[in-house]
Amino acid sequence: MRGEAGMRAVGAWRPERAVLSHGTGVSYRTGCAIPRQGCLMQRVDALDRVPQPDRYGARTDPNATRKVKTIMIRDHELRYALANELHARPFPVVSAPGTALFLAIKQPQDAAGRDREADRAHLIDLLDRHGAPHPTPGATHYSGEIGKHVLKWESHTEFVTYTLFSDGDTGVAFDGQSFKMLPEDWLDAAPGVRMTSALIRVERYTDPDEVSGKVEDWFVNESVAVSEVVGSGLIIASDFRIDAAGHKRIAVFAPADVTSRQIGRIVQRMCEIEIYNTMSMLGLAMARDLGDGMAPIEARLTRIVEGMSDPTNSAEETLKSLLEIAAELENLSVRSSFRFGASGAYEALVNQRVEVLRETRFQGRQTFAEFMMRRFDPAMRTVKSAERRLAGMTDRANRAGELLRTRVDVERSAQNHQLLEGMNRRAELQLQLQETVEGLSVVAISYYAISISLYVLAPVGSAIGLSKPVIGAMVTPLVVVAVWCLVRRIRRLVH
């Protein structure tokens, strides 16, 4: 009360007087973000009567009023959507004792590009059977009650998950009866196949030895992982095996002082570890398939690279074979790039989820981190090795192709050089022939010019007493020189 009076004394802005125009906004009593549109208008009542200080700081008039200027600012269109995304998938609240059923469904092919409306239609079909409200159009998550159970639905990049939570002890542990909460015909109509399913049993405990006995009864001792998590006394256990009913088993043991929200966070983490672990192992199957296909391609590539040093091999035929190998490797890269990338992302999520559990050893048993190190990590290293091997083979094929193209270019350059030299020789011969023809042309033209000149000058020579041979002898040098000069001038003009 004293703090509130002090706030009123200085005229503090009070959240309950915030006004959001043209829509809704944030409830400051609940702290929940509410989608809205338009402008944010914050104001304090204009008649908010608070003592106002005078020029010396003294509050002289307790009845004085203060008007606060309205602040208008436009919101980004995605502001509330982005803020709400941080709170879109809250942790469930799980009571102890209780059970949970986890189911993940994935399309067999092109799961990332699947029709997500089919997933939502399948969810709505289940909700309609229980008269439950529908999710909003385009929703990627949903939580609500269906009968005596609480359903949580999430849509991910490649799969959708259904988690059903039930309160109370079901009697026999992991008897598979929980899965009957989902109708058989609804399961048959699922738009995809089951990627994984798990039965989760939550119990209270007081004696750790009792927990150890149940772990031995429920799980395979060879692979079971048990640990105490988050320093709260919570104990988790699983052997990551599929039982006779087709489900994996997960047990959560909670002491009396652990709340339902703490249990819910651990259950959510275990579900995430299970699905992300399963999805990341798809990369191992892809790596094994690629290994069978890459072995013969690598052998062919090695033979081609070794044969490149043999000068008797045709470079063009070798280049053609290399291009075929490069095309096959590129096809393998296209087929595997998404799966290998997704496996790496899922692996990071699994490791992060295991890390946040903050495990401590329980009665000398292996922890989840140790299980992952012995079983999961080698599989992921195999995936990375296959990815690096494929990338290395692609680089080798590209480098060999570049070297072979260089060799072909050099050979073609040598052939072009020889061709140009032959063309030069032919051009020289043509020039010599042309010069010879030009010399013969001078003789022929001079002969006809001299003959014409004799016909013209013969009468004149007879008049002055010169014979025709004498006139021919006098005219011939002049005509030959004149023709040679004319031909030379014409050749200069042409060239």
- In tens, the pLDDT along 117-154 reads 999 999 999 999 999 999 988 888 999 999 889 999 99
Amino acid at position 419, single letter: L
Tokens of 62: 């307790």
Residue 6 DSSP one-character state = H
**Which pLDDT value is given to residue 46?**
40
CA 277 – CA 102 distance, rounded (Å): 14
Q: Are the C-beta atoms of residues 202 and 254 closer than 8 Å to each other? A: yes
pTM, entire model: 0.70
Q: Are the C-beta atoms of residues 178 and 99 closer than 8 Å to each other? A: yes
Alpha helices per DSSP H over 184-313: 184-188, 208-218, 260-307
Instruction: Work out the number of other CB atoms within 10 angstroms of the CB of residue 245.
Output: 14
Nearest by Cα to 361 from 481, 263, 227, 483: 227
Angle (CA) 386 390 391, round 5°:
115
Which class for 420: exposed (0-12), middle (13-18), buried (19 or more C-beta within 10 A)?
Answer: exposed
CA 213 – CA 447 distance, rounded (Å): 131
3-state secondary structure of 152: strand
Could you write out the DSSP letters of every residue in 335-361?
A: HHHHHHHHHHHHHHHHHHHHHHT--EE
Q: Are the C-beta atoms of residues 192 and 106 closer than 8 Å to each other? A: yes
Q: Are the C-beta atoms of residues 234 and 253 closer than 8 Å to each other? A: yes
pLDDT, tens digit only, all 495 positions of the chain = 334 433 333 333 333 333 333 333 333 333 444 444 444 444 444 434 444 544 444 444 545 455 555 567 889 999 988 888 888 778 889 989 999 999 999 999 999 999 999 999 999 999 999 999 999 888 889 999 998 899 999 999 999 999 999 988 877 888 877 778 889 999 999 999 999 999 999 999 999 999 999 999 999 998 999 999 988 899 999 999 999 889 999 999 999 999 999 999 999 999 999 999 999 999 999 999 888 888 899 898 888 888 887 777 777 788 888 888 988 999 999 989 999 999 999 999 999 999 999 999 999 999 999 999 998 999 999 999 999 999 999 998 888 888 887 877 877 888 888 888 888 888 888 877 777 777 777 778 887 787 888 777 778 777 777 777 777 788 788 888 887 788 777 777 766
User: Whose structure tokens read 């039930």?
Assistant: 166
Which class for 269: exposed (0-12), middle (13-18), buried (19 or more C-beta within 10 A)?
Answer: buried
User: Whose structure tokens read 């191992």?
Assistant: 284
Angle (CA) 374 376 380, round 5°:
120
Amino acid at position 6, single letter: G
Tokens of 380: 């992921």
Residue 75 DSSP one-character state = P
Looking at the chain, how many residues does it have? Answer: 495
Tokens of 261: 């929200």
CA 142 – CA 154 distance, rounded (Å): 7
CA 26 – CA 133 distance, rounded (Å): 24
**Which pLDDT value is given to residue 430?**
82
Structure-derived torsion over alpha carbons of residues 303, 306, 309, 312, reported in degrees to the nearest 10: -30
**Which pLDDT value is given to residue 33?**
42
3-state secondary structure of 320: helix
Identify the helix (H) or strand (E) that includes residue 66. Answer: none
User: Whose structure tokens read 């395979």?
Assistant: 220
**Which pLDDT value is given to residue 67?**
53
Q: Give the strand order in the sheet containing 141-146.
A: 141-146, 149-155, 159-167, 98-106, 193-204, 248-254, 234-242, 225-229, 360-361
Angle (CA) 392 395 396, round 5°:
85
Q: Are the C-beta atoms of residues 165 and 100 closer than 8 Å to each other? A: yes
Q: Is the dihedral of CA 318, 320, 324, 327 positive or negative?
A: positive
Nearest by Cα to 225 from 217, 236, 214: 236
